[in-house]
Structure 1
Amino acid sequence: MAEAHQAVAFQFTITPEGIDLQLSYQALNQIYLSGVRSWKKRVSRVRNSLIKGVYPASPSSWLFVAIGILATMYMQSDPSMGLITKIQQHLPLRYTTGQTMVSALVFSTLLWLSLILALRFCLKLLLSYHQWMFEKHGRMSNTTKVWVPLVRLLSSRKPLLYSYQSSLPHLPVPAIQDTVSRYLESVRPLLTDPEFKRMSDLANEFESNLGNRLQRYLKLKALWATNYVSDWWEEYVYLRSRGPIMVNSNYYGMDFLYVTPTSVQAARAGNTITALLLYRRKVNREELKPSRVPGTVIPLCAAQCERMFNTTRTPGVETGNKHTHTQSRFCSSVPQGALFRLWVYRAGRLLSPREIEDQIQRILDDASPPLPGEEKLGALTAGDRIPWAQMRKQYFSSGVNKRSLDIIERAAFFVTLDDEEQGMRGDDPEGNLDRYAKSLLHGKCYDRWFDKSFSVVIYKNGKSGLNAEHSWADAPTVAHLWEYTLATDAFQLGYTEDGHCKGDVEPSLPQPQRLVWNIPAEVQAQVSSSLAVAQALADDVDCHVFPFREFGKGRIKKCRVSPDAFIQISLQLAYYRDRGGFCLTYEASMTRLFREGRTETVRSCSNESCAFITALESGETEEECRRLFQLASERHQNLYRMAMTGAGIDRHLFCLYVVSKYLGVESPFLKEVLSEPWRLSTSQTPVQQMNLFDLKNHPDFISLGGGFGPVADDGYGVSYIIVGEDMVNFHVSSKYSCSQTVSNNKCQKQPFEIQIFFKFKFLFVTYTVIHSTICSEMLGQLLVT
């Protein structure tokens, strides 16, 4: 009760002489400061709303418009063409001078608002122009030459995080004829002639009959909704999924590859939590710069940032939900099976990293055993969704269980204080990296809260990472947060010589609050059942992580080839050598050029890439292979640009399928398209804030990126991050239960070709083919090998 007494601002006793009142001036001062901070936040929110509400103009521009109108009236001129006089007639003022002044100000305000709408409309039109993306380097059209300075002019003011939201264009609905023809082109290299003939007949029948009817409904939705894809994509792909989200949906991000800033677990947690909360402060104040297309001033949608913190995915019997709560002043943590509420603010002040470290150490030092059923309670979030929804409704909707669950779900994020050591270390660095990836992907299946927007994991040796839930945002948004966190932790907050956080500790800080549960036997039985499901899924995942250092984007760009196209074609070559054929290949592309945009699929296995691989494997001449590779890389870039600019295939077909289900009609074409497996699912983790990392003076502070589980049971999940000029980090996942796939080249289940795939030696083959002047003598040897 000591903490409760310290929180009381005054004490009084009744004596024969009267009431003896004792005020705690320190407590009253804290109350005063807390109120001041609260009012500052309110003023800041109003100010930000005004600034972004009038963007691309500024609030001060109203003054210039008003002065201009008053000056013209002073010169006996009426710029309003009689409107000021009409306004003056409806004003209930007696004095003519006052009426004239007020009516001029009203007209100025209306004119100012009209100019803002006109500027915003012009900016939206400019941002709807995407042809610049398809022009070759150094060959800019006259239209683009005029477009560039206009965009720069309207974007010259320093924007807030959400300033561009109302100016972003809406995602267009592609013509159904274009989508169907692009689909048929994408599957042509994967089908035999009879199979392609059958699919063409289904597609033509769909296009001429049911497709046009579905398209009309979809266009109607596009007119009404902000984005015709995002809400259905979120609901039907993520929230309506009834299987485990662990491995199948959630993804992970890793720490630095070579460096661990401190080996003190509590200290690493203190700095990491502080950095995350500083990022949240920037998001709330809209101080972050809007993300842009690299190398341009073109903004990207920032809507996903709104749900980054205080968000939890809750289960339902038919569909789940997401809840973003008001800004909380605590986060939840789990060490050794016990759940705590960790206070990170005191009287409106963010605790210092050293104070948070002290609080974390208190949690680590807590020796009290977990309550019955508490230790593995997180397994409910790792198993199937329907049992978790039933348990939540029946046993966590009232009493102490509801209060404790609310604390977890309202927390800013979840923190796991893991009792294991991870990272690239010891005598088996490659094997340890693989175990590190598996740990972040699923852990023990009960020591993460997989429903939270993200869970931060701090290991015993100071290594860190995170596990992110997928429904609220895509990887680039989380990667931006994690880049800031790592850089702030290492380069700004720092540590003392003995590895502890910097700063002082206030001795009167309240203790972390241990959550209280009353978990009946029925819930404990379901926890065991969910854990068994999750454990079977986790044990089946084969993860392999490795940095590729032999060359990177620097040497690739010298060949005048897109690094992403180079890697994508190389992945298809690897799959071909591994399985003896081609497969439907998924590459994630963002559509955040549009408001509330999420992702689109790049079907990177094209006719051109297949032609190059076939020629390379059949021993065609170097000149022919180089020509085909150039065509394949250009085709890939074009496919990527089309996906980014709203001309993709899969989201359009997905929405048509959803409309057909609402109408209760069946489409054999759509059913077959939506059931095709993605045996090679790939994604690039973008590096968005290289300015935060001084790789020249600190070359070891490079990120490993992150990864995800395989999409198909008999396929691969490949994530990669291009770091600097000379390095690419790869994350490969597959399932042990499939005898045809293996992620780690040390395994002997597969022939030597799989080692070529996962060591990426074929990159040298491809590289020498397209750039024979470098190491040309090795070409024949590599092809023979």
Structure 2
Amino acid sequence: MPVLEREQPKGPKDSNVLPKLPVPPLQQTLDMYLKCVEHLVSKEQFRKTKVIVEKFGAPGGAGELLQKKLLERRDKIDNWVYDYWLEDMYLNNRLALPVNSSPVMVFPKQTFRDRNDMLRFAAHLISGVLEYKALLDGRALPVDHARGQLAGTPLCMEQYYRLFTSYRLPGPKQDTLVAQKSSVMPEPEHIIVACKNQFFVLDVVINFRRLNETDLFTQLDKIMKMADNAEERLPPIGLLTSDGRTQWAEARSALMKDSTNRDSLDMIERCLCLVCLDDPCGLDLNDTNRALQMLHGGGHTKIGGNRWYDKPMQFVIGMDGVCGVVCEHSPFEGIILVQCSEYLLKYMRGSPSKLVRAASVTELPAPRRLHWKCSPEVQGFLASSADNLQRLVRNLDMEVYMFRLYGKDFIKKQKMSPDAFIQVALQFAFYRCNGRPVSTYESASIRRFREGRVDNIRSATAEALAFVKSMTDGKSSVPAAEKMKKLWDAINAQTSYTVLAISGMAIDNHLLGLRTIAQELKMEKPDIFTDETYWTTNQFILSTSQVPTTVEMFCCYGPVVPNGYGACYNPQQDHIIFCVSSFRDSTETCSAVFAKALEECLVEMRDLCNKCNAAAKPSDQKEGAAKPVKNGSKP
């Protein structure tokens, strides 16, 4: 079964005009790999790793054969790493989607005076979604172009066309990313509205006419009244989608035994998106609590069942004003989510609601409640899913922190890249808290290439470590000018690796390709991939991503390892929004402590820059060598 069943668009395929993703030279990747890991492992371990890597890359070695096969694969398909990366990053991952995988975009808090206010907002939002989808259907979305490093390059647009046509189907060992197939006579388009843990079909096209906002408001009002009927309420089936992927696959198989459930699943799996109408969460609505509500809904005792996590786009609208998007991450990257979200918020601000308070003049068929037949087996799965989600809710430690002392304008005045500067600050903060460097992931867009997704910027550079040591271990003994030189070295190392990554020359995708080719050839796994260094440095204790926005909102996600941090940041002109996450059951992490250290480190870096004026920077520093870099978002 193919991992992704791609829908063939009617118009010209944007990605065909772009170059194919290159396969980096083998020796270049092996040399860079050694450079990236040397300071992250013990000297003894590195000596062993160096011997293993040299053997792998020697003439006639395993690396030479695998590289040859990888080059052959590149010649045959549009993007040699796409399927490998998708399976490794997402589809093979058995963890639950909420917190572990699905990022969220938190919109500005809304103020609804009553239920009608909330429904007007929802109707206006749905109208914007339909406008945006019309642009996608007509292939009328302008092509994105790169900013920052290598600015002006056109970018692959294929991820946009998966926003409303994809679905992640759970499997016992591997999920499948399915694209809806087009047909000669498509069924009426519909969205699914979740309300009080129930699911309703809202047709947005009836008799070949798209519903206007008055009609949408009328239908949403009917749905809320239907959901209020306690006698007809069914078990919160959506909780099943919040469980581990293998458990959900087993529960779905149990559901599929009944035709009623099959019909309901079919309607959800083929919908454009979900709109989740939430009851108030009952919490103080600070940024952190709004982020938590979006990430997991507070568990089964609150709003956690009012979701269907397999659908890529879930628009959440809470009666208490908590609004945003929950994203199933496998079809597209965070920047696509940002662009769609910004379009919708600008649409809602710039286009006054066309809602007329009078009832719809058209007699509309009532929305349909989806029904479920719950066998004892399904009820058992529901109880287990509810417990597992509650554990996840209790375990997540989230800190949304706004650093207000400066933003990207100050960093640009230093002629430094804001992204590189913040990445060095993250290294500084972790070292201050733990006294050691750790392997770090920063996503970098490779949309310059056909079907491009992301590769990894390995931000834990030797140069960053040298700088943070000078600011901590040698705080009083290292002169400010030398610290400043080390900061510039760290900034430039980060920027150089960023350029490598966005040019398709980073190491992580390449090593993944070599490893997967070896599996396909049924070779004994090469030592480089069983070596302790490879596995420890692929455990990303710091999982980071820059997700900049031009509209007031922020993105957040959970850690990717049990003892790690998720660190998403949004640099604005005069402030930076950080969303730091970790797990409470880890004795090695604390989100509030990390955020506090980050603040202190950013202040010290500012003070160092102010102390060392432009004349004090190294004479060989080339003007503009560290211009701002803007990358894609989380894996």
TM-score range, shorter chain: 0.7 to 0.9
Structure 1, residues 584-623: CA drift from partner, whole Å, max 9, x if none? 1110101000000110000011111111111122121111
Question: How far off is 1:320 after superposition?
Answer: 1.6
**Using the alignment, how far apart are the partners of 1:201 and 1:494 within structure 2?**
66
Residue matched to 1:677: 539
Decide whether the 8 Å contact of 1:379 with 1:446 is kept in 2. Answer: yes
Which segments of structure 1 move beyond 3 Å, counting only runs of 4 or more? 259-263, 500-504
Task: Kindly report which structure 2 residues correspond to 1:158-173, keeping only aligned pairs within 5 A, or say none.
Answer: 162=13, 164-173=14-23
Q: CA RMSD in A?
A: 2.3
Instruction: Tell whether 2:438 aligns with 1:438.
Output: no
Task: Kindly report which structure 2 residues correspond to 1:112-511, keeping only aligned pairs within 5 A, or say none.
Answer: 162=13, 164-208=14-58, 209-256=61-108, 260=111, 264-294=117-147, 296-325=151-180, 326=182, 329-366=189-226, 367-369=228-230, 374-396=234-256, 399-421=259-281, 432-443=286-297, 444=299, 445-494=304-353, 505-511=360-366
Change (3 A) 1:771 1:345: same
Question: How far off is 1:624 after superposition?
Answer: 0.6
Structure 1, residues 4-28: CA drift from partner, whole Å, max 9, x if none? xxxxxxxxxxxxxxxxxxxxxxxxx
Residue matched to 1:704: 553
Residue matched to 2:618: none
**Using the alignment, how far apart are the partners of 1:385 and 1:470 within structure 2?**
14
**Using the alignment, how far apart are the partners of 2:356 and 2:68 within structure 1?**
60
Residue matched to 1:23: none
Residue matched to 1:72: none
Q: Which secondary structure state, in structure 2, belongs to the residue aligned with residue 588 of structure 1?
A: strand
**Using the alignment, how far apart are the partners of 2:419 and 2:165 within structure 1?**
34
Instruction: Tell whether 2:487 aligns with 1:634.
Output: no
Residue matched to 2:579: 731
**Using the alignment, how far apart are the partners of 2:281 and 2:360 within structure 1?**
28
Change (3 A) 1:674 1:271: farther
Question: How far off is 1:446 after superposition?
Answer: 2.3
Structure 1, residues 113-159: CA drift from partner, whole Å, max 9, x if none? xxxxxxxxxxxxxxxxxxxxxxxxxxxxxxxxxxxxxxxxxxxxxxx
**Using the alignment, how far apart are the partners of 1:290 and 1:501 within structure 2?**
35
The alignment of Structure 1 onto Structure 2 pairs a total of residues equal to 582
Q: Where does the alignment leave 5 or more consecutive residues of structure 2 unmatched?
A: 1-7, 614-635
Decide whether the 8 Å contact of 1:383 with 1:530 is kept in 2. Answer: yes
Question: How far off is 1:511 after superposition?
Answer: 1.5
**Using the alignment, how far apart are the partners of 1:531 and 1:663 within structure 2?**
42
Residue matched to 1:757: 597
Q: Which secondary structure state, in structure 2, belongs to the residue aligned with residue 678 of structure 1?
A: coil
Structure 1, residues 294-353: CA drift from partner, whole Å, max 9, x if none? 274321001112211032111122222122224752100111122110122232222222
Q: Which secondary structure state, in structure 2, belongs to the residue aligned with residue 634 of structure 1?
A: helix
Which one of 602, 607, 619 corresponds to residue 768 of structure 1?
Answer: 607
Structure 1, residues 630-661: CA drift from partner, whole Å, max 9, x if none? 11101111100100001101111111111122
Question: How far off is 1:394 after superposition?
Answer: 4.1
What is the TM-score when the length of structure 1 is the normalising length? 0.71
Change (3 A) 1:187 1:502: farther
1:761 partner amino acid: E
**Using the alignment, how far apart are the partners of 1:708 and 1:370 within structure 2?**
37
**Using the alignment, how far apart are the partners of 1:381 and 1:647 within structure 2?**
37
Structure 1, residues 700-735: CA drift from partner, whole Å, max 9, x if none? xx4232111101111100001123x11211111000
Decide whether the 8 Å contact of 2:568 with 2:578 is kept in 1. Answer: yes
Decide whether the 8 Å contact of 2:276 with 2:317 is kept in 1. Answer: yes
Identity among equivalent pairs (%)? 29
Question: How far off is 1:532 after superposition?
Answer: 1.7
Structure 1, residues 664-698: CA drift from partner, whole Å, max 9, x if none? 312231134145311111001133xx4xxxxxxxx
Decide whether the 8 Å contact of 2:443 with 2:544 is kept in 1. Answer: yes
Which one is further off, 644-653 or 337-346? Answer: 337-346
Question: How far off is 1:773 after superposition?
Answer: 6.3
**Using the alignment, how far apart are the partners of 2:564 and 2:139 within structure 1?**
41
**Using the alignment, how far apart are the partners of 1:215 and 1:262 within structure 2?**
62
Instruction: Judging by fraction of residues, say which structure has more helix.
Output: 1
Instruction: Give the structure with higher Rg (CA).
Output: 1
**Using the alignment, how far apart are the partners of 1:506 and 1:207 within structure 2?**
73
Change (3 A) 1:271 1:467: same
Change (3 A) 1:629 1:609: same
Q: Which secondary structure state, in structure 2, belongs to the residue aligned with residue 226 of structure 1?
A: coil
Change (3 A) 1:272 1:446: same
Residue matched to 2:570: 721
Decide whether the 8 Å contact of 1:417 with 1:457 is kept in 2. Answer: yes
Decide whether the 8 Å contact of 1:270 with 1:501 is kept in 2. Answer: no
Change (3 A) 1:556 1:542: same
Decide whether the 8 Å contact of 2:194 with 2:275 is kept in 1. Answer: yes
1:631 partner amino acid: D
Question: How far off is 1:278 after superposition?
Answer: 0.9
2:53 partner amino acid: A
Q: Which secondary structure state, in structure 2, belongs to the residue aligned with residue 333 of structure 1?
A: strand
Residue matched to 2:623: none
Question: How far off is 1:494 after superposition?
Answer: 4.2
Decide whether the 8 Å contact of 1:338 with 1:370 is kept in 2. Answer: no
Question: How far off is 1:231 after superposition?
Answer: 1.0
Question: How far off is 1:502 after superposition?
Answer: 7.5
Q: Which secondary structure state, in structure 1, belongs to the residue aligned with residue 104 of structure 2?
A: strand
Q: Which secondary structure state, in structure 1, belongs to the residue aligned with residue 168 of structure 2?
A: strand
Structure 1, residues 746-783: CA drift from partner, whole Å, max 9, x if none? xxxxxxxx46325x132121012123268xxxxxxxxx
**Using the alignment, how far apart are the partners of 1:537 and 1:408 within structure 2?**
25
Which one is further off, 173-182 or 259-268? Answer: 259-268
Structure 1, residues 46-95: CA drift from partner, whole Å, max 9, x if none? 9x73xx4xxxxxxxxxxxxxxxxxxxxxxxxxxxxxxxxxxxxxxxxxxx
Which one is further off, 438-447 or 557-566? Answer: 438-447
Decide whether the 8 Å contact of 2:290 with 2:322 is kept in 1. Answer: no
**Using the alignment, how far apart are the partners of 1:624 and 1:370 within structure 2?**
72
**Using the alignment, how far apart are the partners of 1:508 and 1:546 within structure 2?**
49
Q: Where does the alignment leave 5 or more consecutive residues of structure 1 unmatched?
A: 1-44, 53-161, 691-701, 746-753, 775-785
Decide whether the 8 Å contact of 1:625 with 1:770 is kept in 2. Answer: no
Change (3 A) 1:514 1:489: same
Question: How far off is 1:553 after superposition?
Answer: 0.7
**Using the alignment, how far apart are the partners of 1:289 and 1:304 within structure 2?**
13
**Using the alignment, how far apart are the partners of 2:29 and 2:65 within structure 1?**
15
Change (3 A) 1:370 1:663: farther
Residue matched to 1:598: 453
Decide whether the 8 Å contact of 1:684 with 1:721 is kept in 2. Answer: yes
Which one is further off, 392-401 or 512-521? Answer: 392-401
Change (3 A) 1:267 1:772: same
Question: How far off is 1:662 after superposition?
Answer: 1.9
Residue matched to 1:80: none
**Using the alignment, how far apart are the partners of 1:679 and 1:704 within structure 2?**
26
Change (3 A) 1:524 1:347: same
Q: Which secondary structure state, in structure 1, belongs to the residue aligned with residue 290 of structure 2?
A: helix
Residue matched to 2:501: 643
Change (3 A) 1:345 1:568: same
Question: How far off is 1:262 after superposition?
Answer: 7.5
**Using the alignment, how far apart are the partners of 2:66 and 2:450 within structure 1?**
23
Q: Which secondary structure state, in structure 1, belongs to the residue aligned with residue 466 of structure 2?
A: helix
**Using the alignment, how far apart are the partners of 1:740 and 1:711 within structure 2?**
14
Question: How far off is 1:398 after superposition?
Answer: 5.3
**Using the alignment, how far apart are the partners of 1:236 and 1:389 within structure 2?**
18
What is the TM-score when the length of structure 2 is the normalising length? 0.87
1:434 partner amino acid: T
Decide whether the 8 Å contact of 1:353 with 1:503 is kept in 2. Answer: no
